[in-house]
Structure 1
Amino acid sequence: MKTASFPRMHVSLYVSNIEATISFYNTFFGQPASKIKPGYAKYVLDAPSLIISFVQNPARVQSHFGHLGFQVETPAQLQQRLAAAEAAGLVQRQEIGTNCCYAKQDKFWVNDPDGVEWEVYYFHEDAEFNDPHYDDLDAAGASSQCCIAPPPAEKLVTAPMTFTLADTAAPTASACCATGSNC
């Protein structure tokens, strides 16, 4: 069976504060948003091929979302991205030589202003087990599952970016995405 080839992935996330989100992602992605409108921002990344948009809608922010991530191709690329993220004060946790999700990986985690977790990792090889500390229970009796970054000690506050918003009214999330427009 032949499968379709998709040239670019699109993800859209609801956020509570578009200005804080833009500031964080300008730093994390290392590039400015390609489109900014009232309550909306979009980034178009070439590598990986991804369109990611953010719609300000605090009522729809999900705390049980999971996480997103980027796999890098070499340990040197991981170190470069880690150094840049550390310099910007974004790193929440590092895991070097860990067996997580049945793979040996080196990784670090960042959390955006709404707590969305991003994992940046280098994959060494498949593994037949997860490291035992992922099976441990914390003081509340909850499992410290693999691929889950701990919540940040405090919300990250990054310097706000200066930009001009268009004078048009902000579209609602339902109007934007229900019409099939390129959100």
Structure 2
Amino acid sequence: MLGQRTITITRQKKKPNDPSANRYIVSFTCEKPFIRNDVEFAVLKVHGQSFMLHQIRKMVGCLLAVVRGQAPIETLTNSFTMEKVVIPRAPGLGLILDYVHYTRYNHRYGTDGMHETLTWEEVEDKVNEFKEKYIYPTIINTEIKEESMIYWLQNKLSRHSYDLEEENESDDEGADEDEADEEEDNEKNESSSNQDSKLQNLSS
């Protein structure tokens, strides 16, 4: 999964030969698993230049399918070709933006004597303390309570179809999520338009 890969999202109408579908992954690692309340967790860290919608969730979903023997290794390799593959999307609980890198900026401007480098060393301890105190416990406790990953593994991943002609329940839910987001955006835009109209009326 490392290096430059073509990521195509069917709902976004991205084509495999579209340059904007290329994403560069620097590293993908799995930390040592740990136990909380008799439930095993593992932290997966993905370092990339940028990501597309649902990309990481699909990377994890495909990886789990192959590791659990529910999909052949060819599914993973085929997903990097021009062939369209319907990849299962893992639950979003626990997916967080952990760190923002400004490597190119720092390399280009950070040593010119006029600009400061954009790094987080000064606040890194506070950031880690906040994550340990608030973010990680919320993720762990929510998973233990709702069992979203367990449900997905047992009820959706095992029945997932990689055939474009067949419908997947997980993809249908994704469509519902996207439609809900679109409706919310439309409501916000409508509200904003109404507000603008009111302001124009007041100003006139």
TM-score when scaled to structure 2? 0.20
Tell which structure's C-alpha radius of gyration is larger: 2
Higher helix fraction (1 or 2): 2
Say which structure, 1 or 2, has more relative contact order (CA 8 Å, 6+ apart). Answer: 1
TM-score when scaled to structure 1? 0.22
